[in-house]
Amino acid sequence: MQIDIIIKKSKNDMQKHIKWVLYLILYLKAYKMDELATFVKNRRKQLSLTQEEFADRSGVALTVIRKIEQGKDNLSLSKVNRVLLMFGHTLGPLKIQK
Cβ atoms 84, 90 nearer than 8 A: yes
- Give the residue, 88 or 31, on which the prediction is more confident: 88
39-69: per-residue pLDDT in tens?
999 999 999 999 999 999 999 999 999 999 9
Which region holds residue 23: left if phi is over 0, alpha if psi is between -120 and 50, else beta? Answer: alpha
How do the residues of the chain divide into helix, strand and coil, expressed in percent and rounded to 5? Answer: 70, 0, 30
- The average confidence (pLDDT) of the chain is 80
- Please report which confidence band the pLDDT of residue 93 belongs to, taking 50, 70 and 90 as the band edges: confident
Which amino acid belongs to residue 25? I
Dist CA 73 CA 28 (whole Å): 12
Q: Which of 8-22, 24-38, 53-67, 79-93 is least confident?
A: 8-22
pLDDT for 1 beyond 50: no
- Residues 6 or more apart whose CB falls under 8 angstroms from that of 41 comprise 69
Q: Give me the percent of the chain exceeding a pLDDT of 70.
A: 67
